[in-house]
């Protein structure tokens, strides 16, 4: 399973590619105890239908800003059938992205 993490001032996001299930996943929470979204609880999704496009759409629906590289990194994980990969894309401060040196 790959993991792509980033955060905003109000949200913590974990997305990636689940190699055994052959689908993307997405969890959005507040960093404490409130889960705003989990694809596992999304009744609109038939099993196995979480795609990179739907990850981006759900984040847009929730009003969560996304790092400019999120789509490319997620699609690469899907194309490579990635497992055991972790990427930190950074933190959005409300005005700018603070990006770690490596990813």
For residue 103, is pLDDT > 70?
no
Rounded-to-integer distance, Cα 73 and Cα 63, Å: 20
Mean pLDDT, rounded, for 29-38: 95
Mean pLDDT, rounded, for 79-103: 89
Helix axis angle, 70-80 to 52-62, nearest 10°? 150
Candidates 10, 61, 13; CA nearest to 53 is 61
| Residues of the chain above pLDDT 70, percent | 97
Residue appearing with tokens 């990194």: 73
pLDDT-derived band at 102, boundaries 50, 70, 90: low
Of residues 95 and 2, more confidence is placed in 2
Domain limits of the chain? 2-98
pLDDT-derived band at 7, boundaries 50, 70, 90: very high
């Amino acid at each position: 399973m790959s993991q792509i993490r980033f955060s905003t001032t109000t949200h913590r996001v974990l997305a990636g590619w689940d190699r055994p299930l052959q689908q993307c996943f997405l969890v959005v929470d507040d960093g404490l105890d409130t889960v705003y979204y989990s694809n596992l609880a999304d009744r609109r999704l038939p099993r196995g239908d979480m795609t990179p496009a739907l990850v981006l759409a759900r984040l847009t629906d929730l009003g969560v800003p996304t790092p400019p590289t999120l789509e490319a990194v997620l699609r690469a994980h899907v194309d490579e059938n990635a497992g055991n990969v972790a990427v930190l894309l950074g933190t959005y401060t409300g005005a700018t992205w603070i990006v770690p040196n490596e990813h």
